[in-house]
Amino acid sequence: MSNQVIDIHEKPSGGQLITLSFQHMFAMFGSTILVPQLVGLSPAIALLTSGIATIVFLLVTQFKVPAYLGSSFAFITPMLLVSGGLDPEGAAVNPGNAMIGAMAVGLVYAIVSLLIYKSGYKWIMRLLPAVVVGPVIMVIGLGLAGTAVDMAMNISVEQVNPNTGETELVKQYSGWHFSAALVTLFAAIIFNVYFKNILSAMPILLGLVAGYIYSAIIGIVDFTKVKEASWFALPDFLIPGVHYEFHVTTNILLAMVPIVIVTISEHIGHQLVLGKIVERNYIKDPGLHRSILGDGLGTFVSALIGGPPKTTYGENIGVLGITRVYSVYVIMGAACIAILLSFFGKAMALVQTIPTSVLGGISILLFGIIASSGLRMIVDNKVDFGKNRNMVIASVILVVGIGGAAIRISEAFSIEGMALAAIIGVILNLILPGRDKNVEEFDE
């Protein structure tokens, strides 16, 4: 990983800085705008907050960690749950609930950061071993499988109910739309597997582009929104106390906060991989407490103005490894470009014309990759399923999470699905005998 082209604190020339910044921004663009499309939020606000959160992260980590923060996929299901799903036009019914949950997640990150600062990082590594986190990550991907396939195959059509005489939206299979999903899926696979260098690091974006072009050719893209949109437009902000009532409930907290078990583990993994690429020890300097705090503050600030929760992005880590351009100036440039692009009304309107089937096609690959990454974590950490405790923990997490098990004490208090699976996994790991208490040393 040596022989870097541009090291962390080296500043590229003007033209090179702009070009490299655009490259990093486009690497995360597809995934960042996909999350809000799936949960009924504004792609523009997601793009804006990704840039702001990245700048916050760079400030907190003292400009030592070249990481970009994008929309987190781990919170898709909880956000849909607490926001009441999507209305017929694809917008979240109660998006304010998801924002409150995301703010709570950011605060939990801050608390964990403080604990790590005071007592070291080993306790969290023991709390979140691969046998717990791996299956929970698999639940995230597999739990969304039905959503991805439904988006790919079916479209919503108006139909008159013969019993009531009222017009209703019903799901209907569409061969043309499914073909667009398949074109998107296979284009993303081809870019990821057969192409090299920077193209292989942006399969989501390039797959969306290919699927969109095919959709336009077969006539399933409606450009009305683009024609009506102005060149300059403010993103759809969601401010607490202005656009929604700030009311914290146990249901919101129990649906969103437990997912921190997964996202913090994902964050630690990203820091270790990134450290190997740039030949730095980020667990030691600037410290895991700083990077987790930066991630949490980025999520909190994002939710404060209406954006989804944030996470460090594997796509940008991939670009760092391929290009060997590690400069924080480039990451900052990518963040600034994302902020500026979010105010470009025509571009954001174009994003909103992407057919649901195209999003479904890319989601099939993306959600599958999420599930596979959980399996890969188990394999890479050599989890021994010859041990009954490991088999029990993984089995219970998978069935509880994918099966949608729930504990409901009242209408105002319930914990279910992925969140319940994560909590049960942590508890089982702590109480079952035979737990491995050794933690790899990252200080030196």
Tell me the C-alpha distance between 204 and 28, whole Å: 9
pLDDT over threshold 60, residue 407: yes
Is 439 a domain residue? no
Residue 7 lies in a domain: no
- Report cis status (omega within 30 of 0) of the bond before 286: yes
> Rounded CA gap, 18 and 242, in Å?
37
The answer to whether 407 and 250 are in contact (CB under 8 A) is no
Segments forming the whole domain that contains residue 194? 14-434
Does position 4 have pLDDT exceeding 90, yes or no?
A: no
pLDDT in tens, 282-308: 999 999 999 999 999 999 999 999 999
Query: pLDDT of 98-142, one tens digit each?
Result: 999 999 999 999 999 999 999 998 888 888 888 999 999 999 889
Asked if the structure places residue 429 within a domain, the reply is: yes
> Which pTM does this prediction carry?
0.86
Let me know: does 316 contact 64? Beta carbons within 8 Å. Answer: no
The answer to the question of residue 353 being in a domain is yes
Written as one letter, the residue type at 426 is V
Per the domain annotation, does 5 fall within a domain?
A: no
* Number of domains into which the chain is organized: 1
- Asked whether residue 291 is assigned to any structural domain, the reply reads yes
Q: Is it the case that residue 2 has pLDDT exceeding 50?
A: no
More confident residue, 201 or 194: 194
pLDDT (mean) for 392-421: 87
Checking if the pLDDT of 31 tops 70, the result is yes
* Residue 261, C-beta contacts closer than 8 angstroms, at least 6 positions apart: 128, 132, 133, 136, 422, 423, 425, 426
pLDDT at 3 over 60: no
In three-state form (DSSP H/G/I as H, E/B as E, the rest C), the secondary structure along the chain is CCCCCECCCCCCCHHHHHHHHHHHHHHHHHHHHHHHHHHCCCHHHHHHHHHHHHHHHHHHCCCCCCCCEEECCCCHHHHHHHCCCECCCCCECCHHHHHHHHHHHHHHHHHHHHHHHHHCCHHHHHHCCHHHHHHHHHHHHHHCHHHHHHHHHEEEEEEECCCCCCEEEEEEECHHHHHHHHHHHHHHHHHHHHCCHHHHHCHHHHHHHHHHHHHHHHCCCCCHHHHHCCCECCCCCCCECCCECCCCCHHHHHHHHHHHHHHHHHHHHHHHHHHHHHCCCCHHHHHHHHHHHHHHHHHHHHHHCCCCCEEECHHHHHHHHHHCECCHHHHHHHHHHHHHHCCEHHHHHHHHCCCHHHHHHHHHHHHHHHHHHHHHHHHHCCCCCCCHHHHHHHHHHHHHHHHCCEEEEECCEEEEHHHHHHHHHHHHHHHCCCCCCCCCCCCC
Kindly state whether residue 36 falls inside one of the protein's structural domains.
Answer: yes
The candidate with the shortest Cα–Cα distance to 148, out of 360, 402, 368, is 360
Within-domain flag for 22: yes
